[in-house]
Structure formats: structure tokens, C-alpha cells
Amino acid sequence: MANILFEELGGKYERKGDYLIPCIALPAEEEQPIGTWGQRHLDYLKQYHKVTYTNLLTSGKLNAYLANIDRQAQERFKRLIEDMKQAQGITEQLKAENALEWVQRLNNIRACAMEIVNEEIIYA
């Protein structure tokens, strides 16, 4: 019987009963922590971009890709919050004078920043 391409490239088989099953494993990948933003993007890829998800998974680059997305989103989120706080004049003085208003305005900024990051990075 002629060798097939799988065998020519060094592929091995494992016998399971009467069948020969190819021994296939995913490439080793360095584990990196993935935060909330990375998890959201992972869910988005699984649901709407299955081919991209499968390609990243089988190439062993999924974890690094998601960690990078998470890092970018976190940096953008922090930058947006600081920029919006300066633009709206939210200071520590406001916090000392009227804590409730400070919390309300900061929560509004956080919600706006989260929407922007979701639109620009996570669900793009």
C-alpha cells in the first residue's frame, strides 16, 4: 500500500480495536491570563466567527490572541475613563464635596467607556 501524505509528514497511528486512529494533538501554547474582556471576545468568536476561532485554536495562537485583546481593551478602557473624567471636570474635590454626584458621574463614564471598548475592540 502506498504511503499517504500524513505518513510522509511523520504522522503516526494508534490502533483502537480494528481501527487505526491518527495521533493528532494541538500545538503547545503558553498559558496567559485572560480577563473579562478576553472572555467576552472569546464568546463573540465562538458565536459569530467560528472559522476564525477554529483557525486560532488549531494553530495554537488562541490564548495569546485573547490575552492581547484583553490587554488592549483594558488599556483603552482606563484611558477613556481618565480622558472623560478630565473633560467633565470630575475631581477629588467633587468627591469630597458631593460623593453621591461623584459616584453617579463616574458610573456614567464607566458605562460609556465600556460601550466604546465593546464597539471598538470586543465586538469588532
Average pLDDT of the chain is: 91
**Contact (Cβ atoms closer than 8 angstroms) between residue 77 and residue 117:** yes
Residue 46 has pLDDT above 60, yes or no: yes
At 26 the pLDDT is 66
Q: What total number of domains does the chain contain?
A: 1
Q: Is residue 104 part of a domain?
A: yes
Q: Is residue 42 part of a domain?
A: yes
Q: Is residue 55 part of a domain?
A: yes
Q: How do residues 98-120 score in pLDDT, each as one tens digit?
A: 999 999 999 999 999 999 999 99
Residue 27 has pLDDT above 70, yes or no: no
Q: Is residue 99 part of a domain?
A: yes
Residue 63 has pLDDT above 90, yes or no: yes
Work out the average pLDDT over 71-78. 98
Work out the average pLDDT over 55-77. 95
Q: Is residue 2 part of a domain?
A: no
Q: Is residue 60 part of a domain?
A: yes
Give the domain range for residue 116.
34-122
At 20 the pLDDT is 80
* Cα separation values, 52 from 29, 56, 102, 111, Å: 17, 6, 42, 29
Q: Is residue 105 part of a domain?
A: yes
Q: Is residue 24 part of a domain?
A: no
